[in-house]
Amino acid sequence: MPVILGIETSCDETSAAVLSGTGDTTQLDSLVILSQDVHRVFGGVVPELASRAHLTSIVPVAERALADASVALGDIDAVAVTAGPGLVGALLVGLSFGKAVAHGTGAALVGVHHMEGHLFATSLEHRDAVPPFTALLVSGGHTLLIDVEAWGSYQMLGATRDDAAGEAFDKVAKLLGLPYPGGRHIERLAAESSPEEARPFRFTRPMVRGDQQLGDPDYFDVSFSGLKTAVLHAVRASTNIERDARAIARAFQDAIIDTLVEKSWRAARAFGRQRIVLGGGVACNRALATTMSDRLGPHGVVVFAPKPRLATDNAAMIARAGLFHFERGVRDSLGLNAYASMPIPGLRT
């Protein structure tokens, strides 16, 4: 049974995990995630600081993951490491570490696409979150709607035309004076409000119109920058923002969720999928998962949302995607590079 060491350093989490198993029968033996706090004061990730923080953490984080799993370096069959997309300087830290382990132990090196990792993440927690399914990946950097026919066989259906869903949450949080990253603060504030209270602030659902049809370029795509501007106007128009903030947060969250639910439902329907799998940091939003489940359940669709540790960036998902490629014979050379952007392997557009 292969033992995989997963490494993830594409953004601001230094993470290592040990996973063993074969096919969809896997066991997560350990998962360590060290979130870099330093970016909070800057209101966004500072690439150079991210690289430096990865440098100081990667060895202890990986050692801890191995110790938690009671696995020695010599027991590892493959090192699965994120090769992109992400911050190149940050990626290079994990990649160099992974190469060193592979070289020193003789383990195979398998480069993993970060977003393919997110596709696998939920299956580590829910055994039925396996293909075929519709995937909605919503993070600070990405908003992707993908049809997953089988592992390794993906079709890109839609993406954001401007801001990612998480980015929209973060920008609106900033408008409302909430800390960065703002997604969970918006969710908390919105929960204090009611649909009645939010109604006067109702925002147009972006990119959702009744006359859109399969084949139209905007049928699956999303766009959030107009929504963010609408929130800005609502904030400016408010005569008492302390009073209105929670209703505005609720109205914003409702608009974003409605759009994501509608687009996911369109994708599931178009491909006859009965499962929708969520991933990325915004998948931590309980209102998103619950609303999607409540609305699409009656249509026979089951919605799977990962727990926060698996929704946000983590090395367990990288190990799992790496296992898939390792079992199919993929081996990367020590010449493997890090890429700011790269296509998902097996993706048709």
| CB-facing half-sphere around the CA of 245: CA atoms within 13 A | 15
Cα–Cα distance for residue pair 281/306, rounded to 1 Å: 10
Using a 10 angstrom Cβ sphere, with 0-12 exposed, 13-18 middle and 19 or more buried, the burial of residue 183 is buried
CB of 130 to ligand KG4, least distance (A): 21
Residue 6 vs 141, nearer CB to ligand KG4: 141
Stretch that binds Zn ion, among 55-63, 69-77, 138-146, 205-213 (CB under 5 A): 138-146
Stretch that binds ligand KG4, among 134-142, 153-161, 201-209, 340-348 (CB under 6 A): 134-142
- Residue 84 binds to ligand KG4 (criterion: CB under 6 A): no
x/- track of binding to ligand KG4 for residues 184-223 (CB under 6 A): x--x------------------------------------
CB of 285 to ligand KG4, least distance (A): 3
- Residue 139 binds to Zn ion (criterion: CB under 5 A): yes
- Select from 13, 11, 261 the least CA-distant residue to 136: 261
Q: Is the dihedral of CA 32, 140, 92, 349 positive or negative?
A: positive
Residue 207 vs 310, nearer CB to Zn ion: 310
- Residue 12 binds to Zn ion (criterion: CB under 5 A): no
- Residue 313 binds to ligand KG4 (criterion: CB under 6 A): yes
User: Helix 286-296 and helix 183-191: axis angle, to 10°?
Assistant: 60
Among 61, 78, 282, 338, binds ligand KG4 (CB under 6 A): 282
- Residue 36 binds to ligand KG4 (criterion: CB under 6 A): no
Stretch that binds ligand KG4, among 53-61, 177-185, 190-198, 267-275 (CB under 6 A): 177-185
Among 89, 94, 131, 182, binds ligand KG4 (CB under 6 A): 182
| CB-facing half-sphere around the CA of 78: CA atoms within 13 A | 30
- Residue 306 binds to ligand KG4 (criterion: CB under 6 A): no
Stretch that binds ligand KG4, among 67-75, 163-171, 235-243, 323-331 (CB under 6 A): 163-171
Cα–Cα distance for residue pair 119/144, rounded to 1 Å: 11
Cα–Cα distance for residue pair 346/117, rounded to 1 Å: 13
Q: Residue 211 contacts by C-beta under 8 Å, 6 or more apart in sequence?
A: none
Residue 163 vs 254, nearer CB to Zn ion: 163
- Residue 193 binds to Zn ion (criterion: CB under 5 A): no
Cα–Cα distance for residue pair 123/133, rounded to 1 Å: 11
Q: Is the dihedral of CA 112, 113, 119, 121 positive or negative?
A: positive
- Residue 313 binds to Zn ion (criterion: CB under 5 A): yes
**Residue listed under structure tokens 């926060």:** 308
- Pairing between strand 153-159 and 108-113? unpaired
- Residue 285 binds to ligand KG4 (criterion: CB under 6 A): yes
- Residue 267 binds to ligand KG4 (criterion: CB under 6 A): no
Neighbours of 194 (CB within 10 A): 12
- Residue 139 binds to ligand KG4 (criterion: CB under 6 A): yes
Q: What is the DSSP string of 305-337?
A: ---HHHHSS-HHHHHHHHHHHHHTT--B-TT--
- Residue 183 binds to ligand KG4 (criterion: CB under 6 A): yes
Binding site for ligand KG4 (CB under 6 A): 11, 139-141, 166, 169-170, 181-184, 187, 280-282, 284-285, 312-313
Binding site for Zn ion (CB under 5 A): 139, 313
